Amino acid sequence: MDAPMINHRGPEFKALLKELEDGLRWAFQTSHDVLVFPASGTGGLESVVANLVSPGERILAVSIGAFGDRFADCAAAFGAHVVRHAVPWGEAADPDDVDQILADEPEIRTVLITHNETSTGVTNPLRELARVVKGRGRLLAIDGVSSIGSIDLPVDAWDVDVAVTASQKGWMSPPGVTMLSVGPAAWERRATAQAPRFYFDWERAHKMQQNGATFTTPALSVLFGLREALRMMREETLPAIFRRHLQIAASFRAAVEALDLRLVAAPAAVSPTVTAVYFPEELQGDLAKAVFATWRERYGLIVAGGQGQLTGRIFRLGHMGAVSPDDVLAAVDALQRGLADHGYGVQPGIAVDAAQRALAEPETALAS
């Protein structure tokens, strides 16, 4: 990534962009156009809104947490009349509910859904949700920021019109680039959508990419990282990557269970990339801050806190991208020690043992 900069209007960049486009199509499992923008994942979501929505139009936002709310807020900021289907945090969306809303609301032409919600550690049943949305003939745009490249999302097979991700998630690169796929129905909608767009205009981006360049200056160092990440991912293969994520998530959950802690996610909806866990009652609130500090300062373990309504109540473990079984064991050990330092007593070593057992029994783990 610290290779010297190259001319982003020259032949070296053209070759880089071609390799990235091919790699992303492979990872998205799509023949759709793929676009890259210098932006975080939220920028990719804004591009969906700016290119597909018209002010005053009714759209459906299925939200199962903070990032679902963000997608909906963005659409509202661009003038859409957003019908919010907000599911209690910790649960996944029910395809039957979405089907009913779409049946009741024939005017809704576009549906926004989060595939994997990092604020709650929940993964939506996207295959079923997509079947419902497409069955009703609506356009489907997916926030796949924390799923694509880590959790199976075959864009073409599931008929997903737009799918968005970002470089810092499963792609093992620093943040700064958002990548998305745009299918034919989305291109068609774009032609009539009225929201203003310039920086995130898909058409400008697409025209430039067809000529081997980008509309604005690309985030080169991040793209260098992404190129290498895609090569590594091709070596590992997608089925192996998805399986590794499932296995590692299962081992984290085994550790959480051994620690007698409760997941935020309902059992059927647990995420393969993020595990969100309630603190023990007695450590919630202000005390949680001290536990985060202990994890960070004494054990070098960076754990994310809760967002929105879950602030001070939960901790979240991200495990997407470059994560190995050894990382799990080290993290789980530090996790238990930090909790113990604050008086949460469970038999020493029990979390690591449970994680290790889960890692050793992949079949059981994947079924759990």
Q: Which residues bind a second copy (CB under 8 A)?
A: 1-2, 5-11, 38-43, 46, 49, 73-74, 77-79, 166, 168, 174-177, 195-201, 215-222, 225, 296, 302, 304-305
Residue type, 197: R
Sort residue 260 into left (φ over 0), alpha (ψ -120 to 50) or beta.
left
Indicate the helix (H) or strand (E) that contains 332: helix 325-341
Closest approach, Cβ 174 to a second copy, in A, equals 4
Q: Shortest Cβ distance from residue 69 to a second copy (Å)?
A: 12
Residue 95 or residue 338: which is nearer to a second copy going by CB?
A: 338
User: Residue 100 or residue 311: which is nearer to a second copy going by CB?
Assistant: 311
For the CB of residue 226, give the shortest distance to a second copy in the complex, in Å: 12
Residue 240 CB, nearest approach to a second copy (Å): 24
Pairing status of strand 162-166 against strand 139-143: parallel
Closer residue to a second copy in complex, CB, 280/321: 321
Considering beta carbons, is residue 95 or 149 the nearer one to a second copy? 149
Q: To the nearest whole angstrom, how small is the minimum distance from the Cβ of residue 255 to a second copy?
A: 21
Least distance from C-beta 55 to a second copy, angstroms? 8
Q: What is the DSSP string of 170-205?
A: TT-S-S-EEEEEE-HHHHHHHTT--S--STT-HHHH
Q: Which is nearer to a second copy, 7 or 347 (CB)?
A: 7
* Pick 168 or 356: Cβ nearer a second copy: 168
d(CA 8, CA 220): 8
CA–CA distance, 93 with 87 (Å, rounded to integer) = 6
Q: Would you list the DSSP string of 249-268?
A: HHHHHHHHHHTT--BSS-GG
Least Å distance, CB 103 to a second copy, is 30
CA distance linking residue 325 with residue 357, whole number of Å: 11
Of the two residues 65 and 95, which places its CB atom closer to a second copy in the complex?
65
Q: For residue 157, give every residue at least 6 positions away whose Cβ sits within 8 Å of its Cβ, in sequence order, or none.
A: 29
In angstroms, the CA 15 to CA 227 distance is 11
Collapsing DSSP to helix, strand or coil, 220 comes out as helix
